[in-house]
Structure 1
């Protein structure tokens, strides 16, 4: 069988992740990261056959183009060129325009750029990655897979905000969600794990990383999700505040804060970092908490409480629950976070499987708790967004 490999590019504002994915097996044949764009220490590194390599990026004025150019050269050096059939791009925001993956042309690229006001940190960077890849691979088809697309099945009662309806009609102000590619993958893997068809499964998917969100998926369809108009809403995150009374913004501006400083604080100085005043990394939070740091303990408690609260609230759209599926860097690896969330869900009958919880880490999936009252399991499933991007790209060829 001829391999159909896809070069997957995830372009951020100051970074660029890439991988060559076998679209049939989901295996990453090579993966890498360019980071610190815009800084003198900008680098690009990759892992291939167990070996890690890192190089400096010399073109600091055009780091995205330089990174993609290095990736192209790397593909040639490692002999991947003949097997790559497409380039797939992760794009954060597709608005209401895009409810599935699309092949990119000049018109699609312009629409992605036009949606930048809904994701100002993400879509412009995604567009840069697309332009660089189109220049490097003019003969290869390029596809965009949107983080918001999976959530476009939400009913109006779930995505409408309780503000004048004309704001939705004029400006598209509504809940869009994010992490859709991850929620899509994990909900389908959860169905496999419990031995049911996707079309007959009710799952709450919990993506916990530096960005975090919860989604409720019934019969393969997303019914609701915690992120909102932008990825700032919902759960507390590494540096993002999550749900907050919007009057806080007006209050701080009246106190003399500049508008830009308020939004900088809400996006980059809040969450774990803001409460603990130490770090945005949950590993550092847990370590400091175990050493008696009160700020770290408070940050940990706020986060795990809010995760459990969202999970419990997402029982409302369902008639039954088959599984709660944890994923993302924290969800896959933080034993302490999962243990506390399960503890906070004890009213629903969830009891931790201690051995299972300890085993399901660092790439391992498994069952970590069960509720005999609900007939539901809590499981851990490593996400694979790159595989979804590769699959959906090949499907459009």
Structure 2
């Protein structure tokens, strides 16, 4: 079986081909920022990105004889985790989503290429996977509901990989999975369902290289009404140009870590603060699992950092076993889900556009 995996990022498009579970080719490129700047919205990049992919495959002499095309999932209606066939409703919702993000292009491009190949197109575990327990939805402010937006693809794939390594099924374990990247998400996985996780898109949870994390609410409200900033400027303070990037002018963790190891300030203190908020969020998810946790898994790009991993582990390893599985693993995760769908190991679900997010009882009357 031959799988094409497509992962559009903010400034890059990653491509990979897998045959019978093994990667046989990987390609893609970083796009010219001046070219991308011409597009008003990321969804307008559709033709540009698709033409790049088709030309890249043609230049490499790769035959368009795929058994499936797997695209990175976008910001759809909240849905349960799993593999979804791309359908017209999904494409419509991606074209009209309230969240403008380049990941919305994944399914649309995958479907067009799949049609040319005569094969199915899938997405798997998009960032809007929502398996919250009801009490996790309450924010404390009527009219504001906590949303489940996180690194679901990597979190779920790493959890399954770990379960398989110890001869168990993902659905048999309770795990805390910590994705450490430009954004950080900490999820409580209870028997195959992520019952609570911080919103890693909008800045909730730990401080990260590019996210503010949870900030003092009254101070934020005062800042918003100070008249000094526009709505978009405030949003950038929370995600994008936030977190370590806001303090240091860079989100490059290699550089930041090097200076922290050397003891340079404010690098050392800021990295310590980030690690501390990650550890606190892990503690919160330990409570969400009622202390019944089989392992804490550290993953994502920052999990390659011995410095950060050691600092985080020191603060949490008394809770339960800590496992380090570094890397984003997005392309491999996409391929694994596609193979699972083709072999029948994983069911292929239908996207309906109906939110799976459970309503809080009595809120309509409040």
Aligned residues: 335
Which structure carries more strand by proportion?
1
Is 1:379 aligned to residue 324 of structure 2? yes
Say which SS state the counterpart of residue 84 (structure 1) adopts.
coil
CA drift of 1:147 comes to 2.2
Work out which of the residue numbers 25, 29, 35 in structure 1 matches 2:30.
35
The equivalent residue for 2:127 is 148
CA drift of 1:299 comes to 1.5
CA drift of 1:34 comes to 2.9
The equivalent residue for 2:66 is 84
Residues 85-130 of structure 1 deviation map (CA, whole Å, 9 limit, x = unaligned): 121111232332564332223322002223x21x323455446645
Q: How far apart, in 1, do the equivalents of 2:80 and 2:102 lie? A: 16
Q: How far apart, in 2, do the equivalents of 1:84 and 1:130 lie? A: 11
Say which structure, 1 or 2, has more relative contact order (CA 8 Å, 6+ apart): 2
Q: How far apart, in 2, do the equivalents of 1:83 and 1:300 lie? A: 47
CA drift of 1:382 comes to 4.3
| Contact preservation (8 Å) 1:216, 1:225 | yes
Assess, with a 3 A threshold, how the Cα gap between structure 1 residues 41 and 396 changes in structure 2: closer, same or farther: closer
| Contact preservation (8 Å) 2:70, 2:110 | no
Is 1:178 aligned to residue 150 of structure 2? yes
The equivalent residue for 2:162 is 190
Assess, with a 3 A threshold, how the Cα gap between structure 1 residues 218 and 127 changes in structure 2: closer, same or farther: closer
The runs of 5 or more residues in structure 1 that have no matched partner are 43-61, 350-373
The runs of 5 or more residues in structure 2 that have no matched partner are 38-43, 343-366
Is 1:159 aligned to residue 159 of structure 2? no
Residues 157-190 of structure 1 deviation map (CA, whole Å, 9 limit, x = unaligned): 12332332xx37xxxx432121111111111122
Q: How far apart, in 1, do the equivalents of 2:36 and 2:149 lie? A: 33
CA-based RMSD: 3.0
CA drift of 1:36 comes to 3.4
Work out which of the residue numbers 203, 216, 238 in structure 2 matches 1:232.
203
| Contact preservation (8 Å) 2:295, 2:322 | yes
Assess, with a 3 A threshold, how the Cα gap between structure 1 residues 37 and 100 changes in structure 2: closer, same or farther: farther
